[in-house]
């Protein structure tokens, strides 16, 4: 009995340890562990191994990193294009995988295509079989009793099963073709002469006409002279008719955006493939865009109503201009607004200080603010309105004086009526009724 009692704590402790092991969190990969794994691989490709070892220094606990191409190029003393091609090769042999990433308008990173393209997520396959990765690097993979040969580069073709792939660096170099990549910054294909690519020329010789909107879109695209026209045409032809039209309409807006932000334009075929034109859903062709609003010199009752609105919103009168033919007034592009004309009756009201006060935060204040913004085209700000006259004997004293008193005030608008006029220019017949 005593022996059983003495063994009971040990059994409880053993059970607790077993439960603790079962609930133990997944193992986190440290950067030194990932770097040691990268060092141990025999890839026979010094630039690719240098890129892999550099990426391993930035991994998190899940063996993932978001390091950019520029940083990897700086760490390895390689060009950005060389780093990009080595990442392609590392992905082909199974050492890493990459997932496209975007950042939305709230600054949240995502893989759903929302927002602006950013650095890819690079995952190091530290749990993969290193022998399999090295076999891929050498160009041959053994599965069961069947041998499958993998070419180290697209342009070298596939080796026959009987051939022996040389482990030399020449055959181990990555492919020069990066068309399937979509990383940041975006890879660009080698430029061809502005006259167009060979494939597009062949297609035209065979009688295949270009889409209607491709030529104008290509001609307006920034720096298209250094891009491949055949790739752009191939991607453009895949689009639906409505998307082709939208793409052409969006090119001027995209060009204006990158000029404003001082960005380098993406290759046209990559911009089309990723749907970059869909960032401008309201883009219109020149013939479909509405004409600019007519510029008018407002005078008479319209000018009087505008003056009252400006006094409420900004506590000032408008600056008048003189036209030799039309006279004095204010130039505006807004159409005639009947509700603004309704304010003209109060332009000569000398008792503005006796107007009603609508406090900031109230329903009436919100109604007047929305209407003033519509009339003037700018967000009006509340005025500090004093509710009592200034008395130097109490308001002019030091705050530490026992007789000091704060002068009462409120933020809001001084308005002639509780609510603004209706859109048709009529006023609410009863106090407190909405316009």
Which of residues 196 and 33 earns the better pLDDT score?
A: 33
Q: What span, in angstroms and rounded, lies between the C-alpha atoms of 182 and 389?
A: 69
- pLDDT tens digit sequence for 70-99: 999 999 999 999 999 999 999 999 999 998
pLDDT over 70 percentage in the chain: 76
Q: What span, in angstroms and rounded, lies between the C-alpha atoms of 147 and 161?
A: 7
User: At 152, is the pLDDT very low, low, confident or very high (cuts 50, 70, 90)?
Assistant: very low
Does the pLDDT value for residue 188 go beyond 70? no
Which pLDDT score, from 0 to 100, does residue 288 have? 75
Structure tokens at 329: 């007034």
Among 129-143, 172-186, 360-374, 400-414, the minimum mean pLDDT is found in 172-186
Q: What span, in angstroms and rounded, lies between the C-alpha atoms of 197 and 252?
A: 23
Order of strands across the sheet that contains 116-124: 64-65, 116-124, 96-103, 109-110
Q: Please state the rounded mean pLDDT for residues 100-128.
A: 87
Q: Which of 292, 343, 339, 351 is nearest to 318 (CA)?
A: 343
Q: 298 forms bridges with which residues in the sheet?
A: 330
Q: What span, in angstroms and rounded, lies between the C-alpha atoms of 112 and 301?
A: 55
Q: What span, in angstroms and rounded, lies between the C-alpha atoms of 198 and 194?
A: 11
Structure tokens at 84: 């990009």
Which pLDDT score, from 0 to 100, does residue 14 have? 56
Q: Please state the rounded mean pLDDT for residues 269-297.
A: 86
Q: Please state the rounded mean pLDDT for residues 140-156.
A: 41
Among 11-20, 187-196, 231-240, the minimum mean pLDDT is found in 187-196
Q: What are phi and psi of 415, to 5 degrees?
A: -130, 150
- pLDDT tens digit sequence for 223-235: 999 899 999 999 9
Which pLDDT score, from 0 to 100, does residue 118 have? 87
Which pLDDT score, from 0 to 100, does residue 230 have? 92
| Domains parsed from the chain with CATH numbers | 31-172 (1.10.10), 198-279 (no CATH), 296-415 (no CATH)
Element (DSSP H or E) covering residue 152: none
Element (DSSP H or E) covering residue 373: helix 363-376
Which pLDDT score, from 0 to 100, does residue 334 have? 85
pTM (2 d.p.): 0.39
Q: How many CB atoms lie within 10 A of CB 127?
A: 9
Does the pLDDT value for residue 179 go beyond 50? no
Q: 102 forms bridges with which residues in the sheet?
A: 110, 117
């Amino acid at each position: 009995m005593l022996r059983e009692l003495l063994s009971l704590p040990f059994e409880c402790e053993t059970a607790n340890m077993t439960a603790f092991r079962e609930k133990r969190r997944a193992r986190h990969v440290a950067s030194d562990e990932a770097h040691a794994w990268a060092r141990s691989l025999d890839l026979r490709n010094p630039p690719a191994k240098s890129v892999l070892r550099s990426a391993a220094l930035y991994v998190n606990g899940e063996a993932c990193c978001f390091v950019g191409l520029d940083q990897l190029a700086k760490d390895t003393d390689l060009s950005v294009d060389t780093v990009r091609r080595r990442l392609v090769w590392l992905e082909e042999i199974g050492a890493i995988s990459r997932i496209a990433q975007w950042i939305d308008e709230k600054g949240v990173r995502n893989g759903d295509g929302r927002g602006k393209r950013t650095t890819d997520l690079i995952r190091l396959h530290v749990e993969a079989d290193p022998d399999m990765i090295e076999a891929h690097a050498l160009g041959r993979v053994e599965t069961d009793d069947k041998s499958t040969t993998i070419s180290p580069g697209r342009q070298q073709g596939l080796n026959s099963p009987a051939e022996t792939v040389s482990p030399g660096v020449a055959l181990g170099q990555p492919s020069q073709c990066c068309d399937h990549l979509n990383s940041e910054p975006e890879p660009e294909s080698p430029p061809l002469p502005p006259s167009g690519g060979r494939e597009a020329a062949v297609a035209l010789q065979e009688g295949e006409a270009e889409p209607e909107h491709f030529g104008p879109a290509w001609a307006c695209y920034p720096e298209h002279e250094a891009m491949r026209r055949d790739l752009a045409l191939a991607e453009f032809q895949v689009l639906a008719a409505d998307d082709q039209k939208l793409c052409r309409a969006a090119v001027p807006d995209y060009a204006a955006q990158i000029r404003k932000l001082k960005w380098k334009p993406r290759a046209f075929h990559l911009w089309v493939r990723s749907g970059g034109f869909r960032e401008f859903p309201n883009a219109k062709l020149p013939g479909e865009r509405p004409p600019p609003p007519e510029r008018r010199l407002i005078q008479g009752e319209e000018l009087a109503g505008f003056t009252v609105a400006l006094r409420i919103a900004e506590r000032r009168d408008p600056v008048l201009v003189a036209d030799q033919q039309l006279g004095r007034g204010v130039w505006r592009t807004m159409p005639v607004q009947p509700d603004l004309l309704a304010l003209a009756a109060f332009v000569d009201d000398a008792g503005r200080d006796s107007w009603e006060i609508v406090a900031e935060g109230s329903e009436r204040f919100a109604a007047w603010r929305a209407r003033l913004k519509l009339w003037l085209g700018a967000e009006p700000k509340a005025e500090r309105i004093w509710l009592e006259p200034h008395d130097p004997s109490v308001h002019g004293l030091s705050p530490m004086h026992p007789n000091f008193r704060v002068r009462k005030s409120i933020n809001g608008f001084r308005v002639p009526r509780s609510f603004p006029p209706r859109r048709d220019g009529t006023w609410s017949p009863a106090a407190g009724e909405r316009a």
